[in-house]
Amino acid sequence: MEGKMKAAVYYGIKNIALEEVDIPQITENDILVRMVKAGICGSDTGAFLHGGVRYGVWDGMVQGHEGVGRIVEKGANVADDLQIGDLVFVEPMRAHKAGKIEADVLGTFGEYILVQDAKKDDNVYTIKPDTDLDLAALIEPLAVGTQGALCTNPQPEDNVVVLGAGTIGLCAAAGLINHGVKNVVVVDRNEWKLEIARKIGAKTVNSREENVGEKLVEIFGSFVNTATRMQYADPRIMKQLMAMNTAGASRVSGVKPNVQLYVDCAGAKDLLMQSLAFAAEGTKYVVVSVYSEPLEINGSIFMGEPQLIGSAGYRPATIKEVIDHVENERTPIRNIITAQYSIDEFNTAMEKAAYKENKNIKVLINF
C-alpha cells in the first residue's frame, strides 16, 4: 500500500510530533495492519517525561506497542489462517525481525503497522470480529499483568496480594480473578485507584490510611507456624522476645498475614520491603515492576524462606487466555479505561496519561 499516514514520532523528552509519514511496505512474508485503537503504556509516558532510551523508545521512530487493528494487506507467502479483514492483536516483541529491541516502537501510534514474517499464534493473534474494541485494546497490558500474576501457578483458594493499582496491577488482579483465584487484595495509596480495583472484583487496602500488615491479617487471618509453638517456650526466652518485640528488633513471634503470593506491580521499594517481611515458609513474590535503583534486601529475609521471581512480557498461552478474557468480558476490566482521544489529539492524550494529577489509568487512542 502506497501513501502517507498520521503517526506520533518520538524525538525526546516532551517532544513527540504528529506527522505524515510513509505507510510501511510489506514483503511476501509480511502483513500490514490498520490500527483501530491503541493504548498509552507507562513506558510511553516514561519516555515522554524522562527520555526514551531506558524504555526502549528510540528517537525518530513511531511510538506505541499496545492496541488492536485489522489486516489490510498480506504477502503472498502468508498462510491462509490470516486473512484481510481479520481483527488482530500483534505481539510487539515478535512483530519485527529485530525482536524485543523494537518492541516499544512497534508503531501503534501510527495508522498502520508492519508485521514481519507474520504467523498466527506466534506474532499475530486473531480476535473474534464482534469483540468490544475497547476491551481488545487492553490485551497487551492485560497479558503483562496476567503473566506476572499466574507465573507461579496460584491455586483457587490461595490468598494473593497485588501491590499497586496502576494499569498492570489492576490487570494482574483481573487476570487472577478470571483464572479462578477467589481471594485477591490490591494495595495502593490512592483511593480513586482502589475504587477501580473494587469494581474489578478485588478487596483493597489503602496503604496511606491503613496498616497493611494488620489489614491483611484481618482479611486473610494469620499464618500459623506449626514448627514453632510459642506456648511451650521457656519463660526466659519469652521475656527476651518481648523485650526485642518492644524494641522492634524481632520478627520471630510477630503475626504475619496468611498470604501465599504477592505480585509487585507498584515499583514502591518500601511497600515491597514491607511485604517481604511478611514472608512465611515459602511465600512467593513476583516482581513485575521496573526499579530504577538497586534494592537492598534485609539480611534476615532467609527466615521466611520466600521465593522471589521476576516476570517480564508474556507467553503464547497467556495471550490466548487474555484474548478469551476480553472476548467474553469475563471481568469488568473495562473500568481501567479512563479517557479516550482521537489520533489528532495525540499530544493532549499523552499529557493526560503522563501526569498523575489527571487521575488516568489507561488512555486509549482512536483511529
Mean pLDDT, rounded, for 125-150: 98
pLDDT of residue 336: 98
Residue of 254 and 186 predicted with greater confidence: 186
pLDDT of residue 241: 75
pLDDT of residue 251: 47
54-77 confidence digits (pLDDT tens): 899 999 999 999 999 999 999 999
21-35 confidence digits (pLDDT tens): 999 999 999 999 999
Residue 220 has pLDDT above 50, yes or no: yes
pLDDT of residue 186: 98
Distance CA 272, CA 51 (A): 26
Mean pLDDT, rounded, for 257-286: 93
Distance CA 353, CA 356 (A): 8
Report DSSP letters for 178-204, one per residue. HTT--EEEEEES-HHHHHHHHHHT-EE
Residue 248 has pLDDT above 60, yes or no: no
C-alpha cell at 329: 468480558
Residue of 112 and 282 predicted with greater confidence: 112
191-201 confidence digits (pLDDT tens): 999 999 999 99
pLDDT of residue 296: 80
pLDDT of residue 250: 43
**254-263, 297-306, 313-322: segment of lowest average pLDDT:** 297-306
Residue of 289 and 232 predicted with greater confidence: 289
Mean pLDDT, rounded, for 164-190: 98
Alpha-carbon radius of gyration of the chain: 23
Query: 3-class SS at 22?
Result: strand
By the 10 Å C-beta count (0-12 exposed, 13-18 middle, 19+ buried), 28 is classed as exposed
Residue 252 has pLDDT above 60, yes or no: no
Residue 175 has pLDDT above 60, yes or no: yes
For residue 101, give the DSSP letter.
G
Mean pLDDT, rounded, for 167-194: 98
Distance CA 104, CA 42 (A): 11
pLDDT of residue 225: 65
Per the prediction, the chain carries an average pLDDT of 93
Domains and CATH numbers, the chain: 4-137+332-366 (3.90.180.10), 143-222+257-310 (3.40.50.720)
Residue 230 has pLDDT above 80, yes or no: no
pLDDT of residue 253: 46
